[in-house]
Amino acid sequence: MKYQIKYSGYILALAAMSFIFIHGCKEKGSSSKDKMIVEAPGEDKNGAWPKPQSAMNGIDIYKNFEDIEPIFNLENDTTYIINFWATWCKPCIKELPYFNEVDSLFNNREVKVILVSLDFPDKIESQLIPFVKKNQLRPKVVVLLDGNYNKWIDKVSPEWTGAIPATYIYNGKQNRLIGSSFENTEEIIAVLEPFL
């Protein structure tokens, strides 16, 4: 029985990884639903930045989506650009310098860029942290370890397939999901402009 439970855990992990790899890392133009507008997020329940379960080298680590969910519902004058990515996703890596530049350009405005890493737990220390340091990522980087994607991707947006990169932009008035990678900084700014 003990081996059946352990074996079932491996199957679940393999299924989750397969979902990401089959649906993940979409290049621009890979779907007719790449760019879409979705409903406004729910009301802010506490208005505070959620406390992580742990942190490593200044990177907040959240075990469950429910723990980080409040960042999708903050009601203030800030526009949030939340990008889902991973170090193993080539299109994700390609667009990170553009988010770095947007963070610099809008540093004095009510715009906050948040990079949500979906890297695997065993890669945080060996890959993610060195990558963040080497590439001098300016935006806030957080890690989400919740591999139960089917339970939470619809909470970000019902239109999101779960593929990465994906970027969710919102403020108190509107929101938008971009389900493909950006080709340059100007593309991000063009999508951001209506929010300003």
Question: pLDDT class for 24, splitting at 50, 70, 90?
Answer: low
Token pair recorded at residue 182: 């950006």
181 pLDDT more than 70: yes
Q: Which residue has the tokens 């993940």?
A: 24
Show the CA angle centred on residue 96, arms to residues 42 and 178, nearest 5°: 40
Inform me whether the pLDDT recorded for 9 exceeds 90.
no
The full set of domains in the chain, from first to last, is: 2-195 (3.40.30.10)
Distance CA 152, CA 51 (A): 19
Residue 157 has pLDDT above 50, yes or no: yes
Q: Which two tokens stand for residue 172?
A: 């108190």
- Cα 64–chain centre separation: 13
> Is residue 1 over pLDDT 70?
no
Supply φ then ψ for residue 192, to 5 degrees.
-75, -35
Amino acid letter for position 26: K
- Calpha distance 45→101 (Å, rounded): 31
pLDDT of residue 161: 95
- The mean pLDDT value for 25-40 works out to 35
**pLDDT tens digit string along 108-141?**
889 999 999 999 999 999 999 999 999 999 999 9
- For residue 172, pLDDT over 50 is answered with yes
pTM (two decimals): 0.77
- What confidence tens digit (pLDDT) does each residue in 56-103 have? 999 999 999 999 999 998 988 999 999 999 999 999 999 999 999 999
